[in-house]
Structure 1
Amino acid sequence: MRFWRRFKFIFQFRQSIPFLKEYFLSRQVKLRSKMIAIGLILVYVVFPFDLLPDFFLIIGLFDDIMIASLILQQIVKRTPTSIKEEYHLL
């Protein structure tokens, strides 16, 4: 159930921006967790390894969506409960 809520969260882009802003600006989140999140994002941006090339329109975008959801899932996993509750990610 949590996976589907988090997966849906990716497509509600207007909610993810305030969540990520609060995550990175919050003093409740450990610096190590923030650095891991930044590292995951940078690795994906610098090395955009595609299992399926993007020229296969819908199927090619699927692996990008899955990687983005895995990164977001790791960020959510490291987020304090109070922030998760505010964005209904529990």
Structure 2
Amino acid sequence: MKKFFKRIRLIFKVKKFLPFLIEFFTSSTVAVKKKIFSVGLILGYFLFPFDLIPDFFTFIGLVDDVGVLLLVFQQIIKMAPDELKDKHELKV
């Protein structure tokens, strides 16, 4: 249940993702393997359109997409160096 609330809090920090991602991919402190893995996660999300709940169910269909995207961002944040997480105030 604790992880669930962490993910909910992460939704409210979405506006911090773009500057964080830009710095994550341009930073020399992040290993190239982590950058490649992160790109793979992001591309995998967009290239594999499999849904647990189809999107034609208006609100409910989007919930699984948001959940998967949050999991991807959560993994990228976990791989980031601590100083980058602290700078953008993102903790997982």
Q: Same fold (TM over 0.5)?
A: yes
TM-score (norm 1): 0.87
Q: Any unmatched runs of 5+ in structure 2?
A: none
Match of 1:18 in 2: 19
State how far apart, in whole Å, the 2-side matches of 1:85 and 1:6 are.
18
Report if the CA contact (8 A) 1:33-1:78 is conserved: yes
- Is 1:74 paired with 2:75? yes
Check whether the contact 2:10–2:70 (CA below 8 A) recurs between aligned residues: no
1:30 aligns with 2:48: no
How big is the alpha-carbon RMSD for the aligned residues of Structure 1 and Structure 2? Answer: 1.9
Distance in 1, matches of 2:44 and 2:13, equals: 24
Deviation at residue 5 of structure 1 after TM alignment: 5.2
TM-score, reference length from structure 2: 0.85
Checking the alignment, whether the CA contact within 8 Å between 1:52 and 1:63 is kept in structure 2 is yes
Question: Could you tell me how far apart the structure 2 residues matched to 1:32 and 1:61 are?
Answer: 31
- Match of 2:40? 39
Give the conservation status (yes or no) of the 8 Å contact 1:5–1:89.
no
- Relative contact order (C-alpha < 8 Å, sep 6+): which is higher? 1
Does the residue aligned with 1:29 lie in a helix, a strand or coil? coil
The sequence identity of aligned pairs, in percent, is 43
